[in-house]
Structure 1
Amino acid sequence: MFSKEKIKFFICVLSLIFFLNGVTVLADEIDNSKSIDGIKATVTDIITTNEKNISKAENEGGIKEQQVKVLINTGNHKGESIIILNSVDTSMSNDFLLHKGDEILISIEETDGNIVKAYMYEYARDKYLLYLVLGFVVLMILIGGIKGLKSIFTLGVTVLAILKLLPTLLLRGYDPIKTSVVMSVGIIIFTLLVVSGSNRKTVASIIGTSCGVAIAGVIAKIVGDLTKLSGYGTEESQMLMYIPQNIKFDYKGLLFAAILMGALGAIMDISMSIASAMNEIDDANPNISTASLMKAGMSVGHDIMGTMSNTLILAYVGASLQSVILLIAYKVSFIDIINQNIIATEVVRALSGSIGLIASIPITVLASGMLRKREIEKSLDI
């Protein structure tokens, strides 16, 4: 009555609907919470704007003070209009001069349920980010069809696992190395099985990705220990020491987990690309020898390797670009730059991930070739 593909399609659609519904419910819960932070409001009028010079120096800038009328859109005071004072330091790039119609986040102070004071601390950007996500989802479905839908579903589950499940487990004191390894393997198996089904190329991809990620993790651990990376490379890692849960984190373990997660996507991509290409070659020419098929797979891997390594390294360089510019601006020597904890961390992160990516190529080719040879031998026995 219904083909397997149609059943899978309906399952994916229903799963996607439930996922998006869950996100919407979660967002509504956040918006309607009793918290006095993260309240959304819309600027309805600019009452006054005054400028005060704080220094006569040319580059010091000044202070602009705005009296702004805003309409509260979420929380317990939804529908109320209030006047807030917005002070803008014109010499600071992270201060905001408001305009009519701007959607902002405000924090309020209240006594006995009445607002005493409120101030703006950030623009509300979530609506436009949601539009971007919806555009991505629509494009994936239009171009990828059912596979695009499956990819969206697996991506949603992966994002929830990394942004919700992993931090929750780490905050409960679970070992970051063991947790990240188990989660990585779970993500690999789940994603590849849902997207490509249970077949030879999926198994080869799982083997190649798992081995590549494992190699990246081992190298990161060894080199991290040799270079005495502390895991305190960012402000966020240092701020973790003061969280209310009073957890003593294994910061080296957290660094290992971050490297593993960072390399996972790229390695999975290259493993599936090679396994899929070899499968297509085999389908187009069933009489090709296993040795020739593996040679073709390595040729595909060589072409992918350069661009994917560049992608991975450029992503990490981009993440630390401001730190590099800062060090160069103060004419810090190359030796001092490369030995900075944050820079060394990014170098280890980028190169260990790239090594894992490169290693996954011959492993995927070998796995795909051996699995194909085994299938041929079984068919001959029959």
Structure 2
Amino acid sequence: MSSQEPHTHSHAHGHAPAAPVSRHLRKVIAAVLIPFAAAVVVGLAVLWPGGAPAHKPSGVGFDQPTEQATVLKVDKVNCADVNAEQQPQPTPPPGQQPGGGSTTGKDCDQVTIKVTTGENAGRTFQTVVTPDASRHYTTGQDVVVAYSPNAPKDLQYSVSDVDRSFPMWVLAGIFALAVVAVGRLRGVLALVALLASFGVLTLFILPAILQGSNPLVVAVVGGSAIMLIALYMCHGLTARTSVAVLGTLASLLLIGLLGSVFIGWALLTGNTDDTTGLVHGLYPDIEIRGLLLAGIIIGSLGVLDDVTVTQTAAVWELKEANPSAGWRTLYSAAMRIGRDHIASVVNTLVLAYAGAALPLLLLFSIAQSDVGTVATSEVVAEEIVRTLVGSIGLVASVPLTTLLAAMVVSADRKGHSAAAPGAEPDAGSSAPGAADGFGARQSAARGRSGRRGSRGRRRKQ
């Protein structure tokens, strides 16, 4: 027994299966997952877009080419002295609205900006910022400028946004350091998996949808590739990870089915904002309703991975704690963990949507709309369907993955007498809600019948 204790300890902290996987069980899992992985690879090859399709730039909104620029100087001028016909009109950045009050007698900022990239690098232009504007500029500040080649020369460039590259990279670096410092090797693998997932999203999913492929099919193939890469890279090529993959896959299929049914039943078009309208205008062949469903599937994938991996790990650790426990006892104990997970995840999803849609909800509140009107408007109903369909899939993944893991780990241990020397089949595990001691009822039930035999063995010794 003592020779097995270090092995058990290393598995508990190394996030590996609690005992070696039987050859028969490996064959069963491989028979399910290898064809699935092969189908994903074939899907990637068939649907691979080879890059986003080219289109003629419209020069409007997000379709404008942009360049980097720097603020050379900021001069104070009297707003009343600014000649609108001689000065280029400023283009407010997204979300910036000029004030409605008069600027007579007030000082405006006359900003001189130098373009630093592109074919016109070195060109300077000026723009005027009123005191009521929500954004002001300082000397030396980096900005992003939009370029309109068909406009008059003095009006070809306008400030579209500030340059946030440096603080964003710093934040990303802090995130990476925190993940590696806490997660160590697994943190590094998690970052590599994150980069791989981002690569699949940008190199396959987005260009394939723009090429006109069915968004749902693209999302299923791309999401499956992300799932396989992320789970196996972060958690190892083990039976426990494979069970999490199967639970995630089954839950994604349920989300896809429910999403398809309720998007059609609720008559959701998916075209509820300016961004979607612009994408559809540039690429009319994109099926917007399919794009909505694809977004639901991809958005649910990350949380599903967390739930399925956690539940599978819980079952494996519970089995490690009591090798004699049967699948029913394992399922009952792990579901007590899963119910807490369900409550926290569902609350997280709802609050995340409420936080993201807070400005929209404020508008409805200002309009004094009743709850029914708000909830059934398409712009809100779309998000409600997205949230509820994803939540149903998450809730279903807990019992589904837990049951699958309990049955797999129990079947695996039956083939390994060395995994639990002296352990007997868990005949009493069929009773739902086993004792909190996790297996105490079974041990107590066998206690009396085993005492005589143990006494006899001690006498012989």
Normalization by structure 1: what TM-score?
0.80
Q: Distance in 1 between matches of 2:300 and 2:80?
A: 50
What SS is found at the alignment partner of 1:165?
helix
Matches within 5 A, 1:38-49: 38-49=66-77
How far did 1:70 drift? 3.4
Q: Distance in 2 between matches of 1:306 and 1:221?
A: 25
Matches within 5 A, 1:228-239: 228-239=267-278
How far did 1:153 drift? 0.9
Q: Which amino acid aligns with 2:394?
A: L
Q: Distance in 1 between matches of 2:64 and 2:303?
A: 40
What SS is found at the alignment partner of 1:264?
helix
Instruction: Note the residue ranges of structure 1 that are not aligned, 5 or more in a row.
Output: 1-34
Counterparts in 2 of 1:62 and 1:279: CA distance versus 1, 3 Å: farther
What SS is found at the alignment partner of 2:409?
helix
Matches within 5 A, 1:1-382: 37-52=65-80, 60-62=100-102, 65-78=108-121, 80=122, 82-88=124-130, 90=132, 93=134, 96-108=135-147, 118-243=157-282, 246-379=283-416
Is residue 145–residue 159 contact of structure 2 (8 Å, CA) maintained in 1? yes
Higher mean alpha-carbon deviation, 310-319 vs 64-73, is at 64-73
How far did 1:261 drift? 1.0
Q: Distance in 1 between matches of 2:401 and 2:206?
A: 31
What SS is found at the alignment partner of 1:173?
coil
Q: Distance in 2 between matches of 1:274 and 1:280?
A: 10
How far did 1:48 drift? 3.1
Q: Distance in 2 between matches of 1:36 and 1:295?
A: 57
How far did 1:318 drift? 2.3
Q: Distance in 2 between matches of 1:202 and 1:50?
A: 67
Is residue 166–residue 180 contact of structure 1 (8 Å, CA) maintained in 2? yes
What SS is found at the alignment partner of 2:76?
strand
Show CA shifts across 1:310-344 (max 9, x none). Answer: 11122222232222211121112222211100111
How far did 1:164 drift? 3.8
What SS is found at the alignment partner of 2:275?
helix
Counterparts in 2 of 1:351 and 1:47: CA distance versus 1, 3 Å: same
Q: Distance in 1 between matches of 2:184 and 2:300?
A: 27
Is residue 209–residue 268 contact of structure 1 (8 Å, CA) maintained in 2? yes
Is residue 84–residue 117 contact of structure 1 (8 Å, CA) maintained in 2? no
Normalization by structure 2: what TM-score?
0.67
How far did 1:77 drift? 4.6
Show CA shifts across 1:91-144 (max 9, x none). Answer: x64xx2211232111235679xx9885332210012211111111111111110
Identity %: 23
Counterparts in 2 of 1:86 and 1:219: CA distance versus 1, 3 Å: same
Q: Which amino acid aligns with 1:271?
A: T
Task: State the Cα RMSD in Å.
Answer: 2.7
Q: Distance in 2 between matches of 1:195 and 1:44?
A: 48
How far did 1:294 drift? 1.8
Q: Distance in 2 between matches of 1:317 and 1:99?
A: 35
Tell me how many residue pairs correspond in the alignment. 336
Q: Distance in 2 between matches of 1:247 and 1:89?
A: 41
Q: Which amino acid aligns with 2:126?
A: I
Is residue 43–residue 104 contact of structure 1 (8 Å, CA) maintained in 2? yes
Counterparts in 2 of 1:248 and 1:361: CA distance versus 1, 3 Å: same
Is residue 62–residue 89 contact of structure 1 (8 Å, CA) maintained in 2? no
How far did 1:145 drift? 0.6
How far did 1:262 drift? 1.1
Is residue 205–residue 219 contact of structure 2 (8 Å, CA) maintained in 1? yes
Structure of greater Rg: 2
Q: Which amino acid aligns with 1:287?
A: S
Q: Give the strand-richer structure, 1 or 2.
A: 1
Higher relative contact order (CA 8 A, sep 6+): 2
Q: Distance in 2 between matches of 1:328 and 1:121?
A: 31
How far did 1:359 drift? 0.2
Is residue 108–residue 117 contact of structure 1 (8 Å, CA) maintained in 2? yes
Q: Which amino acid aligns with 2:113?
A: V
Is residue 109–residue 115 contact of structure 1 (8 Å, CA) maintained in 2? no
Determine the structure 2 residue equivalent to 1:27.
Answer: none
